[in-house]
Amino acid sequence: MSNYFTGNEEFFKGIGKVGYEGKGSDNPLAFKFYDPDKVVAGKTMKEHLRFSVAYWHSFCATGTDPFGPGTIVHPWDDADPMTAAMKKADAAFEFTTKMGIDYYCFHDVDASPDSDNLAEYEKNYKTTAEYLKKLQDATGVKLLWNTSNVFSNPIFMNGAASNPDFNVLARAAAQVKNSLDYNVMLGGANYVFWGGREGYMSLLNTDMKREKEHIAQFFTMARDYGRKIGFKGTFLIEPKPMEPTKHQYDFDAETAIGFLKANGLAEDFKCNIEANHATLAGHTFTHDLQVCADEGMLGSVDANKGDPQNGWDTDEFPTSIYETTEAMMVILKQGGLGNGGLNFDAKIRRNSTDMEDLFIAHIGGMDVFALGLEMADKIITDGKFDRMMKERYASFDSGKGAEFEAGKMSLEDLRDYAAAAGTPAQISGKQELLESMVNQYLFK
Ligand code: XUL
Ligand code: CO
């Protein structure tokens, strides 16, 4: 088993490399649908899906909730914070290589011990990043993105780039600078900004206009610095409507894209769409994906799911074949994720306490996306949905409809056309038929 990890100690003992066994397999530690080298729509599943492991949920979270302490024990914990960081990195790369996943994502303080003292923070981060580089080189695992956690430390209780205190904003900038430096060193494909505490709880103490201007300035400086030091990847904004603040500024994809365009950032930034954030915003996952795809702004995905009965970010592993099929339809139609990927920003439940549960959760998530990819490809290749969509808008393909689209008609022209055409006939949207057709693909 030693070829599956490079650390000093094996943490996930008794679990080897996860392989594909097919849908008939009873082995919980095998893929049923994800067959990495299988070619679908001209590329292997591995190339399409570009899975990534989230450091924070997988190797840091212990299952704490507001009602009780952690339940999940990490054998890589250590009383000395730097020793713990190295052991955690070993565990992360052991897990990722055993899963056959090519990418990982991390926040600065997931991997490296935080400190209020900037010099100590920087010293820790340097040592950790150098160790991560060694593990990347040894395993071939790559960095999909990193980011700075400028929301957990109490310093950031009033926000980071939106903080009313310039001193805190500068401290956040220091963390972002460090993360960009190490992103370049580690060959990161993207750099993420999730809003953290960039939002407000009450307008009675918040100058919203000024805070948003500060965020735009902050992003501009980060973009300029990143490009200066050779960051060639994509900057990503990860929208979320609420939590931790009552109102997050990057509410949803539409809002984030509008903000980027208004501030001259759309060339360098795209969106990282998280399923559970889209649903918290009152949208579907597919809605936010489609909004981005339509604008050429879909950069990457945080693959997870919420709970339809819960109004918060439960960050569960994806299991819905309907959601993944629709998501993969959007992704395939836009020609793939480019240098983005599917990052499992998902955590095992508080009472999932066996070491193997982390594997089982990722296997389930990868399988449901692999199946979604195959189904999306079938649906797109068959072309029935596209034909029905085209037919629905056919009145704009020729005649006056086409003239309207080309901007060749006035409001008076439309009035005269309506008068001549008479009362429009009812045309069914055929929603139930389309929904049933999806089931025919999934279960035939
Ligand atoms: C929080 C969230 C973050 C980002 C990275 O809801 O999704 O983990 O993905 O900061
Ligand atoms: Co996320």
- 395 and 409 in one domain? yes
Whether the CB of 313 sits within 6 Å of ligand 1: yes
Average pLDDT over residues 15-44: 98
Angle at Cα 184 formed by Cα 180 and Cα 187, nearest 5°?
130
Ligand 1 contact, 194 CB (< 6 A): yes
Residue 5: the pLDDT is: 54
Residues noted as catalytic: 107, 110
* Mean pLDDT, the chain, whole residue set: 97
- Give the residue, out of 55, 105, 192, 194, with the most ligand 1 atoms within 8 A of its beta carbon, to mutate for a pocket test: 194
Q: Which atom of ligand 1 is nearest to the CA of 240?
A: 6
What would the two tokens of residue 116 be?
């209020």
Is residue 389 domain-shared with residue 378, that is, in the same domain?
no
Residue 4 is predicted with a pLDDT of 46
Would the pLDDT of 7 be above 70?
no
Checking if the pLDDT of 8 tops 90, the result is: no
- Of 136, 45, 24, 30, the closest CA to residue 359 belongs to 30
Domain count for the chain:
2
With beta carbons less than 8 A apart as the criterion, state whether 41 and 377 touch: yes
Please check the confidence at residue 3 and state whether its pLDDT lies above 80: no
Please check whether residues 340 and 421 belong to one and the same domain.
no
For position 6, what pLDDT does the model report? Answer: 58
Which residue, among 125, 185, 120, has the nearest Cα to 149 in the 3D structure?
A: 125
| Cβ burial 392-429 (10 Å sphere, 16+ → b, else e) | eeeeeeeebeeebeeeebeeeeeeeeeeeeeeeeeeee
- Whether residue 28 is contained in a domain is answered as no
Any idea what the CATH number is for the domain that residue 286 is in? 3.20.20.150
Q: Are residues 276 and 409 in the same domain?
A: no
User: What is the pLDDT confidence band of residue 30, given thresholds at 50, 70 and 90?
Assistant: very high
**Is the domain of 179 the same as that of 247?**
yes
The span from the CA of 64 to the CA of 74, in Å, is 13
> Which domain range does residue 434 map to?
385-443
pLDDT tens digits for 180-216? 999 999 999 999 999 999 999 999 999 999 999 999 9
Over residues 111-157, the pLDDT tens digits come to 999 999 999 999 999 999 999 999 999 999 999 999 999 999 999 99
- Rounded to the nearest angstrom, the distance between the alpha carbon of 393 and the centre of ligand 2 is 36
Distance 405 CA to ligand 2 centre (A): 38
Residue nearest to atom 8 of ligand 1 (CA): 345
Q: Encode pLDDT of 225-262 as tens digits.
A: 999 999 999 999 999 999 999 999 999 999 999 999 99
Q: Which of 351, 382, 413 is the last residue of a domain?
A: 382
Give the per-residue pLDDT at 444.
82
